[in-house]
Amino acid sequence: MTYACRPWASLLGALAATLGACASDAPAPAGACTSPEIVVAASDYTSSALGSARGRGPQTLTTGFDLGKDPQLTEAAGRLFFLARDTDQVFELDRCGAPIGRVSLAGAAGSGATNPHDIAVAPDGALWATLYNRAAIAIAREGRVVRTIDLSAYDDDGNPQADAIRIVDVGGAAKAFVTLERLDDRDRLRSLRPSQMLVIDVATETPEGTITLLGRNPFNRLVEHDGRLLIAAPGNFDDGAESGAGIEAFDVRTRTSRLLLEERDLAGSVAEISVEGSCGVAIVAGPTKDINPTWLVTFDAVTGQILAGTSAPVFGPTPGYDLQGLAWRDGRLYVGDRRRGPGGHPVRVFRRVAGEPCRLELDGPPIELPLPAVGLR
């Protein structure tokens, strides 16, 4: 869908005005954000903030009750989206993090919270959202849900926990690839069974079938890389040496996959990955229950070779589950650190060492946020 700069309902109009001018084909007004260093979603899980960082040091982000307590930030087809998961809303953002449109998912696929986890954009502009709590995918056009695809049959407990979604071109046809965690609803949502990749033909909105994944509990966004979808598959976070966990590479053409990197090689569970060129980075969480220290590793995204591993990570380990939010932008790597420093909660910035395409070093002072980062784009 295409949005123009226009007022919303009164509740959202004030928020949009506060966050900044919305994007359009018209020239940006004077003083508008035109080149942010990074777009940020931040939350302490009681309130959230959204906006863009302009340089290093302390930043001011906009906080509003509409943003909810449990946000996610995702990008699809060059468009940016903020998911307010606890309020069943999806905001489309401009390049500076200001909202330019909204879709409410409340009531989609029946009563109860939908808990949207990811967004993909179809060739016709429709938004496809995975509804983690409702065993469905919601399809929205022109700002409203027009259809849902029922996923309840893909797990015997009625909810396969659809998490990430990507729509990609495969031989001239758009296909939606959806990760199904298939956690055990009767055992604290533990990962005890094989997870799956569901494939849906986008033109007909018809599921084509599932492929059993080698890694369990696909977690966070899918990363597109050279005809493959890279998957963080942590299994259970209280076990750092499970089989069937690590980083999985799924070939969208052959619908086959391999474990590019196994969890036992990292001694921890992979929570998030990001790739630029052949340089892959991952946040790894240690298996200490309710603590889960985190550290940053690098790997070759083609071969799976570990370049900076657990014994000598790029950064960390931290005392607890502190590293969250990971993104490459303009040749720099941004990593959220939820620990509060003197000027706020830092986003660490790394640059590549000259002549060594996947060796990273800190690049000056951090960006400092009023709330801890949960998503960076």
Q: Taking a C-beta distance cutoff of 8 angstroms, is the pair 25, 2 a contact?
A: no
The widest CA-to-CA distance across the chain, in whole angstroms, is 56
φ, ψ of residue 124 to 5 degrees: the values are -85, 5
Give the chain's domains with CATH numbers.
108-212 (2.40.10.500)
Q: What is the pTM of this model?
A: 0.90
* Number of alpha carbons in the 13 Å side-chain half-sphere of residue 230: 26
Q: pLDDT of the chain along its 377 residues, tens only?
A: 332 322 233 333 333 333 333 333 333 333 455 678 899 999 999 999 999 998 899 999 987 667 899 999 999 999 999 999 999 999 999 998 999 999 999 999 888 899 999 999 999 999 999 999 999 999 999 999 999 999 999 999 999 999 999 999 999 999 999 999 999 877 777 888 899 999 999 999 999 999 999 999 999 999 999 999 999 999 999 999 999 999 999 999 999 999 999 999 999 999 999 999 999 999 999 999 999 999 999 999 999 999 999 999 999 999 999 999 999 998 999 999 999 999 999 999 999 999 998 999 999 999 999 999 999 99
Q: How far apart are CA 295 and CA 247, in angstroms?
A: 15
Residue in 54, 120, 30, 131 with CA at minimum distance from that of residue 85: 131
